[in-house]
Structure 1
Amino acid sequence: MNAEFEKHFQEKGFSQPTAIQTVVAQPLANGESLIGIAPTGSGKTLAFTWPLLDQVKAGRAGQLLILEPSQELAMQTTRVVREWAALVGLHVQSLTGGANVRRQIERLRDHDEVLVGTPGRIYDLYNRHHLSLGNIRSMVIDEADDLLNDHSRVVVTNIIKAAPHGCQLSFFSATQGQIFTQFPSLFDRQLTTYDVRQTDDSRGPVDHYTVLARTNAQKTAVLKKLSTQAGFAALVFFNSQRNLNYVYSRLTHQHVTVVTLGGRQRQVQRQTAMRRFKKHQVRLLLTTDVAARGLDIAKLPAVINFDLPTSVNQYIHRVGRTGRQGQPGTVYNLGDDHDFRDLRKLLGQTSYQLQKLVIVDERHHQPNSAGGQASRPVMDNEPRRNPRHQVKIVTGKKRKKHKKNRHHKNKGIRFKRRQQAAKDKQHS
C-alpha cells in the first residue's frame, strides 16, 4: 500500500487489512492472474483496488477495467474506486446499461484511466468503436461465478479476448462455482487460487430462523409485523417478479411504505429505491436476486427470504447482505414444513444452523419475535405452539363471499319490490 493509501486507510478508522486484502496484495502488484475467494462483506473490492491502482499511470486511457454483474454493484464499486483513485490523481468512469449512452460516449473523450461497468454496455461500446480495449493492462471480473454463468459468459469471454493477450486477469467471488475449473482452458492461462473462506473473521454473528407461513398472504402479514419493529430494516428476496409485484401491491394497499428493486426498472428508479432504503426512509426493500450480489448496505439488520433459495450459492449471496464488517444480523426464511426440510437438506454441508421462530399475534399480548421486546427462537425439538397465537389472515376469499351474499340479499329485496309495484299497478 502506497503512502497516500496508507494515510487514508488510517483516517477511515480501519485497523488492519482483511484476510483477502492481505493475501492477494503482493500477487496482484506483481502482475499475477488469480482467483480470489472470500466471504461476503470481507472487503474484496478494496483487495483489488489498492494494488491495481498502484500499477495505473496517469494520463493513459482505459488501463484498468472492472466488470460487475449489475448496475447497482457497478455504481457502488465506482464510488469506492473513485475515492481511492482521487488520492493519486486518477479518474474513474462508470459504463452501465440503463444509463444515457450518449453521455457515456462523450465522457469517454476524457480518457479516464479506470473503467467500471457491466459487460453488456462495455461490449456494446466496443463493438460500436466508441471504446478501445487495447490499453488494458489489468481486468477484474467481480462476482465471477455470476458473470460467467450461461447468460453472460460469452460476452465476458469476448471482452477478455478483445484485451491484449498479456492482460492480467483477476476473478473474485464469495463462492466457487463449477465454472472455475474450466478457467485454464477458457482463458489460456494458469490462475492461482487464494481462498480465505475458512480463515476470514470479518463477518459478524448472524442468526438464521425459519418462520412458519404457508401462503403468500401469511408471509405478507409477517413482513408487515416485522416492519413495525423499531430500527428494523430488511432486504426481502423473491424468486419471481410476479410474487414481488403481488406483495408490493398488498403491502401498499395496507399502507406499508416499501420500495422495489428489479431488473426491468429504469436506472433512475433503481437508484431512487436504493437511496431511500439506505437513508432509512423505508424499512423494506423488495427485490429479486439482482441485489443479492455484492451490495454493501451499512449495518443492515436483516434479510428475509420470502421465496427460499434453490441453491447453496444463492443462499450465501443473499444472506451475505447482513452481518457485514463485524455487525450482527438476522435471516428470516419464510415457508412451510416441507420448504424447511428442503432448505435443511440444501444447507446440510454448510455451517448454517436453522432455528424455528414463531411470529405471534399482538392481540394475544405475547412477546413479538422480531426484536425490541424479549424474543425467543423455538428449537426444532420443541412442541409447536398453539396455532391461535400465530399470525391470522383474513383471506380475500371470505371477503368476496361476504360481498356475494350481500349482493344476493339486495337482489332479493329489489325483486320483491318490483313484484309489489306490479301488483299496485294492476289494482290501480
Structure 2
Amino acid sequence: MSESWNELQLPSEWSEFMINEGKTAPTAIQAAAWATIQGEEDTIIQSHTGSGKTLAYLLPLMTRIAKQPDIKTPQAVIVVPTRELAMQIVNVIRDLQSVTGLAAIPLIGGVNIQRQIENLKKHPQIVVGTTSRIVELIELKKLKMHQVQAIVMDEVDQMLALKQQNELSKIIQSTLKERQLVAVSATINQAVRDYLNTWSSAVRFVYVPHEDKLPPTIAHGYVVCEQREKIDMLRKLLRSMKLNRAIIFTNEMDQIAGIVQKLTFHRLKVAAIYGDQEQVERAHIIQQFRSGKVPFLVTTDLGSRGLDIEQIEAVIQFDPALTTDQYVHRAGRTGRMGTAGRVMTFATSREVAELVRMGNRLEIELVEQAYYEGKWLSPEQAKQLKSGNRSQAKSRKKPVSKTQVSKKEGRHRDQKSKGAPRWLKEKGNQGRP
C-alpha cells in the first residue's frame, strides 16, 4: 500500500491541494484502487462507507483525462441511483477544479432538461447523472458518448435492485468497446458480479483485506419497545443525547409525516426527504441539514446512499433494517473517515432476534439499552438503579412504635365515625350484637 500521494504519482499541485484540505495521505482503498483504475482495467471497488471510495476512482480517472485537454466531449460518465449522490460527486470534482482544470455537470431528473443541454455545450470532461436522464440525453443525441473512456457505476447494487439494468445497458452500449467499466459500492453481491461479467471477461476486484464491513469507530445499540412507543422513545433519545445532527430511518414512507409532525409538536427541529419530493425542495432541506439549521432528518433508504455529510453523530433506525446491506448503508452515514459515530435501533420484541442475528453476521457488538431517569443505560444497570432506589426508600422509613400505631388507629376510628351517617354512629356506640 502506498503511504503518500507522491507514491501514487499524483501531480504535485493536486497533492498539495489534498494535503491542504486535510487529506494528508490516501486511504487504504484509494491506494488499493489506483493502479487498476489508472491501468484502464474493468474494476469492482468494495469498501465500507466513509472510506473514501469517491476519490478512489475520481483521482486516477482525472489524472488520465487531464492529459488530453483537447477532447471537447465527455470522457467519463458517472452513473448514480439518486440525485443527491450526483450533486455530491459533482461538488467534489468542482472543489478540485482549481488544480485539475476539469469541469463536471450533473444530469439529473427533476431539473429543466434544456438547461442541461446548454451546459453540455460548455464541453465538460465529466458528467454525473441518474440513469433515466442520461439515457434521455443520449437518445436525443445531445450527450456524445463516442469519446467516453470510462463509465463508473457508483452504488451499483442499488441501481440493480431498482431494476435499472436496462438503462445501464443502454448507456454502456452507447460507448466504444474499449471503454473502462468501474462498479463501486460498500456492498457487492453476486448480482453485481454477474452483471459486470456480461460486459467484461476480466474484471478486477479491489478491496482492503481484513477490512471490517463497518468502521470500528461506530457504536451499535438497540432499545426494545413496541411500535406505539417508538415516537415517545425517539423524542426521549433526541432530547437526552443532545445530538447536533442525526438521521432517522424508517422503512415506510407513510410514517414520515407522522414522525415529523409529532417531533415538531415537541419543539424539535426536524425535516424530511422522500422519493416524490420536488428536487428544489429536497436540495433546500439537505442544505439546511448540512448547515445545521435543521439537526434531524427523517428519510427512508433513499437517504442511506449518497448523503456524505460531515459530523453526523448518530443514525437512528425507527424501524430495523431489513437486510445486512441495508444496515451497512444506513450505519455508514455516521462514523465517516475515522470519526466516532453511533447507531441506535428501535426494535419490537418480535424484531429483536433478527436484529441480533444481523449483528452477528456483520460481526458488530449490539448493546441493548434502556431509558431510565433521563439516561440511556444497559437493562442491568437500570434494574440495579431501580432496585437500589426501592431499597433506599425502605431504609429512609423510621421505625414505628406500638404507641404511635395505637394513636394512629384511634385517630383513624375517630375520623371514620365523625363523617359517618347517624345510624352507623349509633350502631358503633351500641357495640356488636
Aligned to 2:148: 136
Q: Check the 8 A contact 2:155/2:184 in 1, yes or no.
A: yes
1:267 counterpart residue number: 279
Q: RMSD over aligned Cα, in angstroms?
A: 2.3
C-alpha distance in structure 2 between counterparts of 1:240 and 1:86, whole Å: 43
- What are the equivalent positions in structure 2 for 1:174-253 lying under 5 Å apart? 174-196=186-208, 198-199=210-211, 203=215, 205-216=217-228, 218-228=229-239, 229-253=241-265
Aligned-residue identity in percent: 29
Structure 2: segments with no counterpart, 5+ residues: 1-9, 390-433
**Partner deviation per Cα, 1:299-330 (whole Å, 9 max, x = no partner):** 11100010111111000000000111111111
Deviation at 1:184, TM superposition (A): 4.9
Contact 1:235 1:284 in 2 (8 A): yes
Q: Does 1:160 align with 2:161?
A: no
Tell me if the contact between 1:259 and 1:273 (Cα under 8 Å) persists in the aligned partners: yes
Aligned partner of 1:137: which letter?
A: Q
* 2:63 maps to which of 54, 71, 83: 54
Q: CA deviation at 1:31?
A: 1.0
Note if 1:99 corresponds to 2:147: no
Q: Classify the secondary structure of the residue corresponding to 2:49.
A: coil
Alignment partner of 1:25 is 2:34: yes
Partner of 2:296: 284
- Following the alignment from structure 2 to structure 1, what is the Cα–Cα distance between the partners of residues 199 and 161? 15
Contact 2:246–2:312 under 8 Å retained in 1: yes
For residue 331 of structure 1, the aligned residue among 340, 343, 352 is 343
Counterparts of 2:384 and 2:120 in 1: how far apart (Å)? 62
For the 8 Å contact 1:19–1:199, the answer to whether it is kept is no
Helix, strand or coil: the match of 1:80? helix
Query: Secondary structure in 1 aligned to 2:321?
Result: coil
Q: Which moved more, 1:178-187 or 1:47-56?
A: 178-187
Aligned residue number for residue 183 of structure 2: 171
Distance in 1 between residues matched to 2:213 and 2:316, nearest whole Å: 24
Answer whether contact 1:37 1:197 (CA < 8 A) is retained: no
1 CA distance for matches of 2:193 and 2:51? 23
What amino acid is the match of 1:164? L
| Residue pair 1:29, 1:51 contacting (<8 A) in 2 also | yes
Query: Residue deviations 1:255-312, cap 9 Å, x none?
Result: 3321101111111111111111111112210001111013211111100010111111
Which residue matches 2:375? 368
CA contact (8 A) 2:93 2:103 kept: no
Count of residue pairs brought into register by the alignment: 375
Q: Secondary structure at the match of 2:32?
A: helix
The question of whether the paired residues in 2 share the 8 Å contact of 1:308 and 1:335 is answered with: yes
Over alpha carbons, which structure has the higher Rg? 2
Counterparts of 1:144 and 1:70, CA distance in 2: 11
1:41–1:202 contact (8 Å) kept in structure 2: no
8 A Cα contact 2:29 2:53, kept in partner: yes
Matched, 1:294 2:294: no
CA distance in 1, matches of 2:297, 2:100: 36
Q: Residue type of the partner of 1:292? A: S
Contact 1:355 1:378 in 2 (8 A): no
Provide the residue aligned with 2:46 in structure 1: 37
Matches of 1:342 and 1:46 in 2, distance apart?
A: 35
Per mean C-alpha deviation after superposition, the further-off stretch among 177-186 and 63-72 is 177-186
Q: Which amino acid aligns with 1:196?
A: V
CA spacing shift, 1:230–1:382, aligned 2, 3 Å: closer
Question: What is the TM-score normalised by the length of structure 2?
Answer: 0.82
Partner SS for 1:187: coil
* Counterpart-to-counterpart distance in 1, 2:167 and 2:379: 48
Q: Which amino acid letter does the alignment assign opposite residue 289 of structure 1?
A: D
Structure 2 vs 1, CA of residues 28 and 264 (structure 1 numbering), >3 Å: closer, same or farther? Answer: same
- The amino acid that maps onto 1:245 is A
Conserved in 1, the CA contact under 8 Å of 2:249 and 2:298?
yes
Amino acid in structure 1 at the alignment position of 2:317 = N
User: Does the C-alpha gap of structure 1 residues 269 and 177 become closer, same or farther in structure 2, counting only changes over 3 Å?
Assistant: same
